[in-house]
């Protein structure tokens, strides 16, 4: 009997130590990303680790763009007993399955970067989304392109009063890709600039594909192209690579290329004068909002204006965007 009592005491002591350590280090948060090779995702989730330091324990998984793999990873994290989940889904239409998995275990889930359908978030009281408003980003990009066309007399190469444009889009069906494209083109025209889309193609958010697609546009349209609008910076940088190979950005030959995200490589391109402009996808504020939300929800508290300094509408948190150009960057530094 004494032996059993001693073992019970040891077991309780070990359990108490584990719980104390967990409390000291903060809640355990399972983090699932769609693809660790994505430049913006790398940046945001690095900042997420910084924000979590000493406040939460992160268990990070990379789905390598495989939704089935991500489903398994979330199952594994739930089995480990995480206190909250942060999920950057591979496929936003598959988010309903992930939300239902979390709901079954009573674990809060914060979706990031790829916004689920409203009906999917509505399935679970502890399902939230943190990201940016792609409509706002598209509008800002389009307005910046229109401003360039209006203010630079040599922008209209053929003098027809129309901005001949090519578009590089992100992943087909991705909400950000569709809305950034639609609202950027609408903003150009609402600013009073006539626009002709010579061609558009998907480059899947990737620099190498952006270069390949832009090279094809140059081969087809040559100097008819007057502007390049891209759904993200990686594709914009790929377009710049192709334009450089075609003789642009030297001897006074310029092409306005606009991206979205304001990643570190994009800011370097802005400083060099090759990328004309981008729209800030504020990774720092998104990371901060995600961790604050995870801490609140994992502690069983309600999200209120007193404990969460971001506006929440129907469990959606949008971080504000802004344009960035070489002039703005230099003024800020």
Q: How far is CA 119 from the centre of its chain?
A: 21
In a domain, 332, yes or no: no
Claim to verify: residue 94 and residue 34 sit in the same structural domain: yes
Which residues are paired to 111 by β-bridges? 87, 129
Q: How many domains does the chain have?
A: 2
Q: Are 75 and 113 contained in the same domain? A: yes
In a domain, 328, yes or no: no
Burial class, 144, CB count within 10 angstroms (exposed 0-12 / middle 13-18 / buried 19+): buried
Q: Could you tell me if residue 149 is inside a domain?
A: yes
In CATH, what number is assigned to the domain containing residue 265? 3.40.50.2300
Q: Are residues 276 and 297 in the same domain?
A: no
- What is the residue range of 100's domain? 2-132+282-320
Q: What is the pLDDT of residue 73?
A: 97
Asked whether residue 253 falls in the same domain as residue 307, the answer is: no
Asked if the structure places residue 193 within a domain, the reply is yes
Residues of the chain with pLDDT under 50: 1-23
Give residue-wise pLDDT tens across range 98-117.
999 999 999 999 999 999 99
pLDDT for 24 equals 53
Pair 83, 189 in one domain: no
Q: Are residues 255 and 286 in the same domain?
A: no
Specify the pLDDT at position 14: 41
Give residue-wise pLDDT tens across range 24-81.
579 999 999 999 999 899 999 999 999 999 999 999 999 999 999 999 999 999 999 9
Task: Read off φ and ψ for residue 301, nearest 5 degrees.
Answer: -90, 155
- Report long-range pairs for 120-123 (Cβ below 8 Å, ≥24 apart): 120/95, 120/96, 121/314, 121/315, 121/316, 123/96, 123/99
Looking at the DSSP assignment, which residues form a beta bridge with residue 110? 86, 128
Inside any domain, residue 330? no
CA distances from 236 to 145, 152, 166 (A): 14, 21, 11
Same domain, 126 and 143: no
CA distances from 233 to 146, 211, 225, 253, 279 (A): 19, 12, 19, 21, 9
The answer to whether 127 touches 120, Cβ cutoff 8 Å, is yes
Q: DSSP per residue over 24-57, as a string? A: HH--EEEEEES-TT-HHHHHHHHHHHHHHTTT-E
Co-location of 316 and 219 in the same domain: no
Query: First-to-last CA distance in the chain?
Result: 72
pLDDT on residue 80 = 96
304 and 195 within one domain: no
Domain end marker among 264, 280, 296: 280
Beta bridge partners of 163: 195
């Amino acid at each position: 009997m004494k032996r059993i009592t001693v073992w019970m005491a040891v077991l309780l002591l070990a359990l108490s130590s584990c719980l104390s350590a967990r409390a000291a280090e903060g809640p355990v948060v399972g983090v699932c990303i769609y693809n660790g090779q994505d430049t913006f995702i790398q940046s945001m989730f690095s900042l997420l680790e910084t924000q979590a330091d000493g406040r939460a324990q992160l268990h990070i998984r990379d789905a390598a763009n495989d939704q089935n793999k991500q489903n398994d990873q979330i199952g594994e994290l739930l089995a480990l007993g995480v206190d909250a989940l942060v999920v950057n889904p591979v496929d936003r239409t598959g988010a309903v399955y992930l939300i239902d998995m979390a709901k079954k275990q009573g674990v809060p889930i914060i979706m990031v970067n790829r916004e689920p359908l409203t009906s999917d978030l509505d399935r679970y009281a502890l399902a939230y989304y943190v990201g940016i408003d792609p409509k706002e980003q598209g509008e800002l990009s389009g307005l910046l392109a229109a401003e360039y066309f209006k203010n630079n007399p040599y922008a209209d190469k053929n003098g027809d009063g129309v901005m001949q444009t090519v578009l590089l889009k992100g992943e087909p069906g991705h909400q950000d890709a569709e809305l950034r494209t639609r609202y950027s083109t609408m903003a150009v025209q609402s600013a009073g600039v006539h626009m002709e889309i010579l061609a558009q193609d998907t480059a899947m958010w990737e620099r190498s594909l952006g270069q390949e697609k832009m090279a094809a546009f140059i081969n087809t349209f040559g100097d008819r192209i007057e502007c390049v609008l891209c759904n993200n910076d990686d594709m914009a940088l790929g377009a710049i690579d192709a334009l450089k190979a075609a003789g642009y950005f030297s001897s006074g030959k310029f092409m306005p290329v606009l991206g979205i995200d304001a990643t570190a490589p994009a800011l370097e391109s802005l400083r060099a004068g090759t990328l004309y402009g981008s729209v800030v996808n504020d990774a720092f504020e998104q990371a901060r909002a995600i961790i604050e939300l995870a801490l609140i929800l994992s502690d069983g508290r309600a999200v209120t204006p007193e404990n969460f300094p971001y506006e929440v509408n129907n469990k959606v948190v949008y971080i504000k965007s802004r344009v960035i150009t070489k002039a703005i960057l230099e003024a800020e530094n």
